[in-house]
Amino acid sequence: MRKALCAVAALVALTSCTQERQNQLRREIQNWTGTNGVLEVYAGDKLVKRFLRIDKISTALGTDDKLPRSYRFGYGVLDENLNGMVDPGEKRVYFEISDYATNYIFFESPH
């Protein structure tokens, strides 16, 4: 009974939050659980790079001023042959994406 009351209280608290706060909570949970994301980079309409198994993409912050920088970064497995699967020999790498680059898509893997 006590667990049920706690669950109801948590549900009421969550539904009374603003949409922005609900989104923040979801992002905080994803930071703990990970996302299994995919990042695809395009040159025009051609896919040129793909990264798999990305937990999250973070905004870089300045060391001294803590202000956001004009790029995002993360870690993922470089899909060298662009087949959408992690193959033997494909390694986890660090990557950066400029805010000025508009030809990329990040999404949660459907697999």
Q: What does the pLDDT read at residue 109?
A: 83
Query: Same domain for 65 and 44?
Result: yes
Instruction: Give mean pLDDT, residues 44-68.
Output: 90
CA gap 56, 77 in Å, rounded: 13
SS3 2: helix
DSSP 47-82: EEEEEEEE---EEEE-TTT-PEEEEEEEEEEE-TT-
Residue 47 contacts by C-beta under 8 Å, 6 or more apart in sequence? 40, 41, 82
Query: Same domain for 6 and 46?
Result: no
Q: What does the pLDDT read at residue 92?
A: 96
Q: What does the pLDDT read at residue 47?
A: 94
Query: Same domain for 21 and 62?
Result: no
SS3 110: coil
Residue 28 has pLDDT above 80, yes or no: no
Contact assessment for residue 54 and residue 76, using Cβ atoms and an 8 Å cutoff: yes
Q: What does the pLDDT read at residue 100?
A: 80
Count of domains observed in the chain? 2
Domain that holds residue 4: 1-33
Instruction: Give mean pLDDT, residues 5-12.
Output: 56
pTM of the model: 0.67
Query: Same domain for 54 and 88?
Result: yes
Q: What does the pLDDT read at residue 87?
A: 96
Give the pLDDT band (50/70/90) at residue 58: confident
Q: Average per-residue pLDDT in the chain?
A: 81
Q: What does the pLDDT read at residue 84?
A: 92
Going by C-alpha positions, the residue among 57, 87, 59 that lies closest to residue 75 is: 57
Query: Same domain for 28 and 48?
Result: no
Query: Same domain for 29 and 49?
Result: no
Query: Same domain for 25 and 51?
Result: no
Query: Same domain for 102 and 77?
Result: yes
Residue 94 has pLDDT above 70, yes or no: yes
Query: Same domain for 57 and 93?
Result: yes
Going by C-alpha positions, the residue among 67, 68, 36 that lies closest to residue 53 is: 36
Contact assessment for residue 89 and residue 73, using Cβ atoms and an 8 Å cutoff: no
